[in-house]
Every structure is written in structure tokens, then in C-alpha cells.
């Protein structure tokens, strides 16, 4: 897909620009701020623009806010992409098996999916992290556990439609194994609508990770935007920038991911329409 198609609307262009900045921050963080972002960098509660070595000031412990923003972008992007990849992988497999097998297998798998959907995603993530313990891998697994049901339902619906097509019947006639037919012939054609959910899952994962960190359930060894917002609560009246700056970064990142995803979907739909 060409960039001109992705930039066909102002919303998509803005989303891609924001997403590009987020990726640039995440990639550049180790080079621009090689020190531990949790280390003390100056006097505590230094306001923004008072010291150009610390342009956005410091928090209550004297940690650099800019370094926290850049390293927090790495955490948010890593969690969002990993959770989206895991949930789409699990959802695609479960949806393909349910839709292609049908019968009792389909019924059992979809009832399990229904059971997970009855529990609010954030509460499920909160419960798992509380029981297992806060770490980046546990946070990713918890978010994926609450997000796989959407891709499952979409994959199943697509597979139910595709499995009756002529090329699938031809594959059965020549003796291909049902598992090979399902994952080699059917699943690749069912994936595009599932992948369209990626931006929504990434955005939701970034928000969920921030919420868990805000509650003190994020990885304690990593800087997170939710943790920075929580850190600023105690001095919200005297130093509101400690919560406002990472809050703005969080909102812009989620908005950028969502708008960029919408741009990709619209560009794909336009290309298919012209075809």
C-alpha cells in the first residue's frame, strides 16, 4: 500500500505522524538517555524550562521527566504490540478451529469465548496481575487474555464463509488433511478483517497498561506513563506538570494509534473498491 493512500485523509495523516513520533521516541530512548531513567538526575521538583539539561523538569525524587517520557514510550509500544500480536494469534487459531471444525468443537470453543467476554477486560487483567505479580510479560499476557475474544469471533465468521468455497472443496478432493486446509488455505484469507482490529487492540493495551501502572501493578523495573501520572498525584496542586505531561503523551499515543489504524483500513477498503 502506497503512502499516498495512507495519507488520503487528514485524520490518517495525523495518526501516522503521531505514531511515527512514538516509534522514534521508543527507538531513540537508549541513545538519547542511556542512563537509567529511574536514577536521580537533579534536584527534586524542578519545574519545566528552568534547566535546559532537564527541559521538562524532575519529579519528587529528582528523576528526569523527559527521560521518563522516552523510556515510557518504549514500554507502551512494547506492551501494545506484544499484546495485540498475542491476542490476534490466539484469536485466529481458536476462531479458525471453531469455524472449520463446526459441531461440538465449535460449540465448546464459542462458549469458552462467551465466558471470557462476560468478564470486563480490565478486571480480568487486574486479577491476573494481582495474583501472578507485576512484570512486563505478565502484563502483556493479562491484556492478551482479555482481548483475544474479538479476533476469535471475527476469524470464526470469516472461516464459516470461506470453508464452503470451491477452492476449499478442491483441497478436500485432492486429499489434503483438514488441519492443512484450515491453516494453509482458509486462515490466510480470513486474516485481513482480523488484522483490522490491531489498532484498537494496541490502543486498548496501552491504556490498560497505563491503568495497571497507575494502580501500582506495572513492572517496577520500567518507567511507564501510568506510573508517572500516579507519581504526580501527591503533588498535583504544586507540580501538576508531573501528571499532565505523561497524561498528554498517553492520550496522543492512543489517538495516534487509532487514527493510523483507521487510515490503513480506509486505504485498504479504497484499494479493494477500485479493484
Instruction: Find the domain containing 124 and state its range.
Output: 3-274
Quote the pLDDT of residue 260.
84
pTM: 0.89
Domain containing residue 216: CATH number: 1.10.3720.10
Q: State residue 80's pLDDT score.
A: 93
The three cell numbers locating residue 40: 536521580
DSSP classification of residue 85: H
Number of domains in the chain: 1
Q: What is the pLDDT of residue 240?
A: 94
Q: Which residues pair with 51 in a beta bridge?
A: 54
Q: Give the mean pLDDT of the chain.
A: 89
Q: What is the pLDDT along the chain (275 residues), one digit of tens a residue?
A: 445 555 567 778 888 899 999 999 999 999 999 999 999 998 999 999 998 889 999 999 999 999 999 999 999 999 999 999 999 999 999 999 999 998 999 999 999 999 999 989 899 999 999 999 889 999 999 999 999 999 999 999 999 999 888 888 898 888 899 899 999 989 999 998 898 888 899 999 999 999 999 999 988 889 999 999 999 998 999 999 999 999 999 999 999 988 888 777 665 555 555 54
DSSP structure string for 92-141 = HHHHHHHHHH-HHHHHHHHHHHHHHHTS-HHHHHHHHHHHH---HHHHHH
CA atoms of 201 and 199, how far apart (whole Å): 5
Task: Work out the number of other CB atoms within 10 angstroms of the CB of residue 236.
Answer: 12
Q: What does the block give as the cell for 150?
A: 474479538
- Name the DSSP letter for residue 256: H
d(C-alpha 88, C-alpha 185), whole Å: 18
The tens digit of pLDDT for each residue in 46-63 reads 999 998 889 999 999 999
CB-facing half-sphere around the CA of 103: CA atoms within 13 A: 2
For residue 23 the three cell numbers come to 516509534
How far are the Cα atoms of 94, 108, 204, 250, 257 from residue 74, in angstroms, in the given order? 30, 38, 16, 12, 14
**For residue 38, how many other CB atoms are within 10 A of its CB?**
17
pLDDT for the residue numbered 154: 95
- The strand pairing partners of 64, in sequence order, are 58
- Coil, helix or strand for 54? strand
Q: What is the pLDDT of residue 164?
A: 84
> How far is 88 from 80, CA to CA, in rounded Å?
12
Do residues 230 and 211 lie in contact, with contact meaning Cβ atoms separated by under 8 Å? no
Amino acid at each position: 500500500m502506497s503512502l499516498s493512500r495512507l495519507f488520503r485523509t487528514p485524520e490518517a495523516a495525523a495518526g501516522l505522524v503521531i505514531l511515527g513520533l512514538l516509534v522514534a521516541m521508543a527507538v531513540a530512548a537508549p541513545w538519547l538517555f542511556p542512563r537509567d531513567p529511574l536514577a536521580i538526575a537533579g534536584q527534586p521538583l524542578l519545574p519545566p524550562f528552568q534547566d535546559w539539561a532537564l527541559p521538562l523538569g524532575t519529579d519528587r525524587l529528582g528523576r528526569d521527566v523527559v527521560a521518563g517520557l522516552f523510556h515510557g514510550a518504549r514500554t507502551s509500544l512494547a506492551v501494545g504490540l506484544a499484546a495485540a500480536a498475542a491476542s490476534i494469534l490466539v484469536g485466529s487459531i481458536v476462531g479458525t478451529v471453531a469455524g472449520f471444525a463446526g459441531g461440538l468443537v465449535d460449540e465448546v470453543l464459542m462458549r469458552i469465548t462467551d465466558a471470557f467476554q462476560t468478564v470486563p477486560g480490565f478486571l480480568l487483567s487486574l486479577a491476573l496481575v494481582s495474583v501472578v505479580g507485576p512484570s512486563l510479560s505478565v502484563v502483556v499476557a493479562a491484556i492478551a487474555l482479555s482481548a483475544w475474544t474479538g479476533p476469535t469471533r471475527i476469524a470464526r465468521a470469516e472461516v464459516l464463509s470461506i470453508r464452503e468455497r470451491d477452492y476449499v472443496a478442491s483441497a478436500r478432493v485432492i486429499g489434503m488433511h483438514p488441519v492443512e486446509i484450515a491453516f494453509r488455505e482458509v486462515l490466510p484469507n480470513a486474516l485481513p478483517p482480523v488484522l483490522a482490529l490491531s489498532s484498537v487492540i494496541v490502543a486498548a493495551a496501552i491504556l490498560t497498561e497505563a491503568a495497571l501502572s497507575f494502580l501500582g501493578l506495572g513492572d517496577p523495573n520500567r518507567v511507564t506513563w501510568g506510573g508517572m501520572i500516579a507519581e504526580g498525584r501527591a503533588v498535583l496542586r504544586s507540580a501538576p506538570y508531573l501528571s499532565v505531561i505523561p497524561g498528554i503523551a498517553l492520550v496522543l499515543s492512543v489517538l495516534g494509534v487509532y487514527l493510523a489504524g483507521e487510515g490503513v483500513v480506509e486505504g485498504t477498503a479504497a484499494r479493494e473498491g477500485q479493484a
